[in-house]
A = this chain, B = another copy of it.
Amino acid sequence: MPEHQYAVIMAGGGGTRLWPVSRKEKPKQLLPLIGQETLFQSTVARLKDMFPPERILVVTVDEQAQEMKQQVPEIPEENYLIEPGPRGTASVVGLAAMVLQKRDPQATMAILPSDHFIRNVDLFHYLLKAAFEVADDGYLVTLGITPTAPSTAYGYIQQGKSLDGSYKYPVYSVKKFIEKPNEETAQKLLRSGDHSWNSGMFIWCADTIMKEIHSQMPSLGTTLDVIEKSWGTSAQDEVLNKNWLDLKNETVDYGIMEKAERVAVLPAGGLGWSDVGSWSSLFEVLLPDMNGNIATNAVLHLGHETHNTLVYGGHDRLIVTIGVDDMVIVDTGDALLVCKTDQSQKVKEVVEHLRKHRQENFL
């Protein structure tokens, strides 16, 4: 039933592949990478038609919570759950499920990343509604994204048989979760026709996922029980802090989904989805000019024989490109990135290098 449906936004991560815009203190989801709104604001805006603010929860870390509350003041204070430290999505899901179950024993929940982009919001709503129906039947449901390229940046989900039931959208049992493949395997998976990208969007009943946690990750289950006992009391924060950091850092994909029995996938095409996982992904999301160029974040760009190039800037600086093709240029106050688009995954390695060499001011 809609009144028991909740959205849980996960917003702990960093996003080093969008350096130098994404920084330790201002990660990807808090930035206006696409248009005027930040990715977090867009994520909330996308949910508002389906969930009143009281039924939107945010799980994040202390460093980001303050900024998030400013960006989205309509979500009630008590709906921000603060992780004492990042311990993987399995722990996050467990905490959210525990809290929701305590508030509403019939709660069903959609787990959604805070830093993705979805162009087709109507289809997204339709899929979520369909997914809640399936979740109500006791399934762990995941939204799959129909692949449009042999991407090696995502995990894949192989679908099995079509599920019985009069659902409003085709639903399949999940045959297998597959880790990020190499190029050759990705080609095969793309051609197979029965694989989707793992979007990291999940829908289930709080009750269902809690049972799975207790059976598959009993140690997490026990810790959640301890936290639950003090939840809402004056000892809440102390107990949470004391127990949280001892949790194993595990994703819900590998900790729960892979071994669960009743797992379903809704393979979604045409959603206009992007995980905004690297600078090159902005080419899928923003509309280029006739030369294939994109100038974003109010940049003054003068391109001369320039093609398929993204220019991201934020000030009154003039950026001139001559004879530049297939490039990403990101200009921030203290750092400049010039990167061949098809190598934008390597930004991560550069950030790693900076970290190793203690260039704290650039992280």
Interface residues of A (CB under 8 A from B): 20, 302, 304-305, 316-324, 327, 329, 331, 334-340, 342-344, 346-347, 349-350, 353-354, 359, 362
For the complex, give the distance between the alpha carbons of A321 and B337 in Å: 6
20 contacts between A and B (CB under 8 A): A20-B318, A302-B350, A302-B354, A304-B349, A305-B343, A305-B346, A317-B334, A317-B336, A318-B336, A320-B335, A320-B338, A321-B338, A321-B339, A322-B343, A323-B339, A323-B343, A324-B339, A324-B340, A329-B336, A331-B336
Chain B residues with Cβ below 8 Å from A346 are: 304-305, 322-323
Q: What copy number does this chain have within its complex?
A: 2
Given contacts A304-B350, A305-B343, A350-B302, contact A318 B338 (CB under 8 A): no
- In the complex the two chains form, is B336's CB within 8 Å of A323's CB? no
Chain B residues with Cβ below 8 Å from A324 are: 327, 338-340
Q: Which of B322, B327, B335 contacts A337 (CB 8 A)?
A: B322
For the complex, give the distance between the alpha carbons of A302 and B347 in Å: 11
For the complex, give the distance between the alpha carbons of A323 and B344 in Å: 9
Within the complex, the shortest CB–CB distance from A312 to chain B, in Å, comes to: 12
- Add 14 more A-B contacts to A302-B354, A318-B359 (CB < 8 A): A20-B318, A20-B320, A304-B346, A317-B335, A317-B336, A318-B334, A320-B339, A321-B338, A322-B339, A322-B344, A322-B347, A323-B340, A323-B346, A331-B336
